[in-house]
């Protein structure tokens, strides 16, 4: 699977609400995985952005969380998932947060454009060659 973008973000744990630094990888299939380090071998979790993300808030829109110690609130991101849970993240800068927040758009439109296909019919049932994509 091809990597679109990777980088370090702070992630707030779901149980103890402590901030942990994780390597995040945005994959071409539209999934966002997070890992212990940049080798991306020990995956902690993965989110299918196109199907599971309702919206993403950045910076001052994330008024209900505090950034990690020594970090600015401008780099905060809240990823609201469809089932109701949230993923709280913090980037080094506001620019990095904005870039991360556009991941949903980039993977579903620019990086993985949907293809329209006409129904396929086999040559055995129609006597004609199989139809090509539209």
Domain that includes residue 44, residue range = 3-126
Residue 104 lies in a domain: yes
Residue 102 lies in a domain: yes
At 54, which CATH number?
Answer: 2.30.29.30
Kindly report, residue by residue over 70-125, the tens digit of the pLDDT. Answer: 998 999 999 899 989 899 999 888 877 887 777 655 544 333 333 333 333 444 44
Structure tokens at 55: 């919206």
Cβ-based burial of 125 (10 A; exposed 0-12, middle 13-18, buried ≥19): exposed
Q: How confident is the model at residue 17 (pLDDT cuts 50, 70, 90)?
A: very high
Secondary structure of residue 107 in the 3-state scheme: helix
For the full predicted model, state whether its pTM sits above 0.85: no
Residue 131 lies in a domain: no
């Amino acid at each position: 699977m091809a990597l679109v973008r990777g980088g370090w973000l702070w992630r707030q744990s779901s149980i103890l609400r402590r901030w942990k630094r994780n390597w995040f990888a945005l994959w071409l299939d539209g999934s966002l995985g997070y890992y212990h380090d940049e080798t991306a071998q020990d995956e902690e979790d993965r989110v299918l952005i196109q199907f599971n993300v309702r919206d993403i808030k950045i910076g001052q829109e994330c008024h209900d969380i505090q950034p990690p110690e020594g970090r600015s609130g401008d780099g905060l991101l809240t990823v609201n998932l469809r089932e109701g849970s949230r993923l709280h993240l913090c980037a080094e800068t506001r620019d990095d947060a904005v870039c991360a927040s556009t991941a949903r758009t980039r993977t579903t439109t620019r990086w993985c454009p949907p293809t329209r296909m006409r129904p396929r019919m086999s040559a055995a049932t129609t006597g004609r060659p199989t139809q090509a994509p539209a």
